[in-house]
Amino acid sequence: MHEVMLLALAWVVGLLLGAGFFGGLWWTVRRGSASARSALWFLSSLLLRMGLALGGFYLVGRGDWQRLLACLLGFVVARFVVLRLTRPPLEQGNPRCNPRSGEAGHAPQSR
């Protein structure tokens, strides 16, 4: 029972690390693309996010591959959650704005 609790805690820490990593990436893209010093934004964000994520994985893992795997699973789940939360809303009534349709939204279809 104790081991299950440690794995669940590692998964939650992985969720938090992933939310910070991918949420920070989203924030950096929004801020950095509008900045005159975008390279500085992206480089400093990358170093900070990677340092925190790798440090978190190191502290959670502590030589146990199962805890490390649970943390990685939480990290990957957080990626999908952040992608879902930061997706721009689709325009109503315009099927060309649907990114899942598999078609480009800028060219008319030939008949």
Q: Which two tokens stand for residue 25?
A: 């990436």
pLDDT tens for 24-75 read 999 999 999 888 899 999 999 999 999 999 999 999 988 899 999 999 999 9
How far apart (Å, rounded) are the C-alpha atoms in residues 44 and 58? 21
- The residue extents of the domains of the chain are 20-86
Distance from C-alpha of 8 to C-alpha of 3, rounded to nearest angstrom: 9
Which pTM was predicted?
0.75
Q: How far is it, in rounded angstroms, from Cα 80 to Cα 78? A: 5
